Amino acid sequence: MTKKSKKIHKESGVSETIGYIILFGIMTTGIALVTLYGYPVLLNEQANANVKNMERNMIALQSDVKSLNFKNVPYRENTLQISGGVFKVEKFSTDTKYFKVINETGNYQLIPAASFPGNEFHPGQLLFISEKGDILVGLQNGAVVKREQGGSTMLSEPRWFIDSSGSDKILVLIFTQIDSDADYAKSGIGILQMSSEQPVEVSYLLSSASPIRIEYHDTESDYFSAWRNYFNTFSATTDSTVTIPSVKKVIMKFYKVKILGL
């Protein structure tokens, strides 16, 4: 008799408080795990998304610069949403990175010293500095370059080309310089206003086909490997200079894009 009643009402070990504590414990552990691991992952993703977003912005800006250069558009503006870092205009006069073009037969400098002192072309850049640290995305000399953890890549190339359809090899180099009257830097939403200025065009018809050397100098070596890899598409090289053999004609156009406001 007593055995039967025990089987039906078996509640001697059940406590509401313990059950509550167990459930609460599981819940708290869950919240703790999400805060500990999930939240940093989310923040990290957010920072990555910001950098990705800025890469896109830079490619959009590159096509704006292309319109200014190649389509004779006098003025362009672009609304930028800059989050997770600072966007700044680095004008050519304060830039330590520069290009040189040299005719190896006789070591002639081909960039005109009248417009560019010291035969050095300083491009300047539109630069995004991520607050995540050590990530730079720049629009430099018509190319979109990205630097991360000491290395760099070119996300979008400038329009340099060799035309070898005829009997002579023609090298066309397009340079773009960034200039501004004031120093601009912005985070948040900004409207970048750009205008184009009269380009300088130089063309050399060499007396005999000569090797042409293009040098990229970068003291901080920010975009060193980006340009080296790009130079490799012309001729094999292991540093940031490239020698293109037997060029008969060199055409260089120097465009200037002026930033009016941000």
Which of residues 116 and 160 has its CB atom nearest to other proteins in the complex?
Answer: 160
- Answer yes or no whether residue 60 interacts with other proteins by CB under 8 A: yes
**Is residue 47 within the footprint of other proteins (CB under 8 A)?**
no
| CB distance 211 to 245 below 8 Å | yes
CB atoms within 10 A of CB 13: 6
Among 5, 15, 72, 198, contact with other proteins (rule: CB under 8 A): 72
Contacting other proteins (CB under 8 A), which of 69, 125, 130, 240? Answer: 69
Please calculate the CA angle 26-32-38 and round it to the nearest 5 degrees: 120
253 binds other proteins (CB under 8 A): yes
- Sole binder of other proteins in the list 86, 209, 251, 260 (CB under 8 A): 251
3-class DSSP string for 211-223: EEEEEEECCCCCC
Min separation Cβ 92 and other proteins, Å:
20
Other Cβ atoms less than 10 A from the Cβ of 152: the count is: 22
Q: What angle do CA 182, 223, 113 make, to 5 degrees?
A: 60
Is 200 a binder of other proteins (CB under 8 A)? no
Q: Is 238 in the site for other proteins (CB under 8 A)?
A: no
Q: Quick check: 220 binds other proteins (CB under 8 A)?
A: no
CB of 12 to other proteins, least distance (A): 41
User: Contact at 8 Å (CB) between 112 and 200?
Assistant: yes
Q: At which residue do the structure tokens 């009257």 appear?
A: 181
Q: Report the Cα 157 to chain-centroid distance in Å.
A: 11
Cα gap 251→243, rounded to integer Å: 16
Measure the N-to-C terminal CA separation of the chain; round to a whole number of Å. Answer: 91
Task: Decide whether 62 or 180 has the Cβ nearer to other proteins.
Answer: 62
| Residue 45 beta carbon to other proteins: minimum distance, rounded to whole angstroms | 13
Q: Does 86 bind other proteins (CB under 8 A)?
A: no
Read off the DSSP letter of residue 121.
B
Binding-site size, other proteins (CB under 8 A): 21
6 in contact with other proteins (CB under 8 A): no
Alpha-carbon dihedral angle through residues 98, 102, 107, 110, given to the nearest 10 degrees: -100
201 binds other proteins (CB under 8 A): yes
Residues making contact with other proteins (CB under 8 A) = 56, 59-60, 63, 66, 69-70, 72, 159-161, 163, 165-166, 170, 172, 174, 201, 203, 251, 253
